[in-house]
Amino acid sequence: MSDPGQENPARSALFTDLYELTMAAAYHAEGMEALAVFELFFRGLPNSRNYVVAAGLDDVLDYLERWRFTEEDITYLAAQIPMPTGFADALRRLRFVGDVHAVPEGTVVFGNEPLVQVIAPIIQGQIVETFVLNQVHFQSVAATKAARVVSAAAGRQVVDFGSRRAHGTDAALRVARASYLAGAAGTSNVLAGKRYGMPVVGTMAHSYIQAHDDEAEAFEAFARLHPRTTLLVDTSDTLAAVGKIIELSRRLGDKFDIGAIRLDSGNFGHLAKESRALLDEAGMRDVRIFASGGLDECDIAALIEGGAPIDGFGVGTKLAVSADAPSLDMAYKLVEYDGRPRTKLSAGKVICPGRKQVFRLCDGERMKQDVIGRHDEDLPGRPLLEPVMAGGKRLPAGRVSLEAARSHCQAQLALLAEPLRALKRADEPYPVTFSDLLESDLALITQPRAPEP
């Protein structure tokens, strides 16, 4: 029987790139065991983004606490790379015993700011790179997209409908969680609701109406079984279907208990206005209108600006794959080894050396500026990175509930100036600078050395 860890990427130490393991073998052969500091950050914002919402930390910490190589892992690895003397035994004993500092999930972050720091013996810090980067990158992309959708909805309900077109089952679950963290009201994915304790939302598909010979009979049968349900009205003729629901309300009287109608195609603005007029004229002002079908934040903003009386939105594909900005230039880089700062001088990818901290200054109720400094500098502002794991075990700051992260995210977004919350790129980006000491550290490393006399 295969090991369950190999079947679940979130449990397997082999969820890593091969070069992490070839480097680990070389470190072992050379006796390199000192502490290393790796930092995860992204270099810049996509053209359509003014900020990023950090997410994925909870999965990273869970992975690190369980991280280990099985005998099957080691046997497989021995057939892939040269194994120096003692390396197999070292892998058998290997556990993550390092520290992790990170910004809390839901924190608004910007380019070049460390989101996660892994401080561990270099072999451990090196091998876990792939998983750390995979989880924080994807979930931050998803949370940022969801935050924009929620912002565009301007207080109206947003529900994640993206599971069927997400890039795999794991992605669907992570999108659901990231969306809720960023302010969505819930998800259509039942497993996500069970796993994360978040609301699940769903009513009917067109197939239910199609399976009946009469649309009105389908509405009545479903409504009797599911009080406060939402009825899908665009299977054939949207406004005619609304008329059938009005007739149903008259027939059922006090027993009529419909929460909303759902529009899933057509001209949403026009159909919403016409449907609202029909419902209001029939005295059904408490029946809400919900829209779904190919929507993103720009569509939602346009509908609201056009006065569409829509009370909630289901957002699927374009949320699940973050269609307009599906990736960040995110990296996980060594910045310190054996107590000495390290850097990289590749063109366009220079790294400031040493472990860092991000200090955020606020002016009243708005973020004003971030300064990236040395981790031990005493600079004005609130430090963003905090210890979440020590010696391979979570600290209290690493055990934050999804609800708490969600509340933190809303508070963070409220601190952004209005132009930064807007959907279009702000004329003036949020200011992020390096401290004088950090700039001097980089200058010392990059300045040409004087020739030997």
Whole-structure pTM value: 0.94
CA atoms of 291 and 287, how far apart (whole Å): 13
C-alpha distances out from residue 134 to 10, 231, 327, 332, Å? 11, 39, 11, 10
Q: If pLDDT is split at 50, 70 and 90, which confidence band does 5 have?
A: very low
H or E stretch covering 291 = strand 288-292
To the nearest whole number, what is the mean pLDDT of the chain?
Answer: 94
| pLDDT for residue 6 | 43
| pLDDT for residue 343 | 84
Instruction: Report the half-sphere exposure of 162 (CA within 13 A, side-chain side).
Output: 34
Residue 7 pLDDT more than 60?
A: no
Length of the chain: 453
Backbone φ and ψ of 417, nearest 5° = -65, 150
Average pLDDT score over residue span 95-113: 98
What tens digit of pLDDT does each residue of 26-46 get? 999 999 999 999 999 999 999
| Two structure tokens written together for 405 | 């992260």
CA atoms of 90 and 9, how far apart (whole Å): 22
Q: Is 384 exposed, middle or buried (0-12, 13-18, 19+ CB in 10 A)?
A: buried
What tens digit of pLDDT does each residue of 82-98 get? 999 999 999 999 999 99
| Two structure tokens written together for 103 | 């910004």
What single string gives the DSSP state of each residue in 80-114?
TS---TTHHHHHHH-----EEEEPPTT-EE-TT--
What tens digit of pLDDT does each residue of 227-272 get? 999 999 999 999 999 999 999 999 999 899 999 999 999 999 999 9
What tens digit of pLDDT does each residue of 336-352 get? 999 999 887 766 667 88
> Hunting for tokens 């992490």 — which residue is that?
20
Residue 278 pLDDT more than 90?
A: yes
Residue 50 pLDDT more than 60?
A: yes
> Hunting for tokens 């790179």 — which residue is that?
129
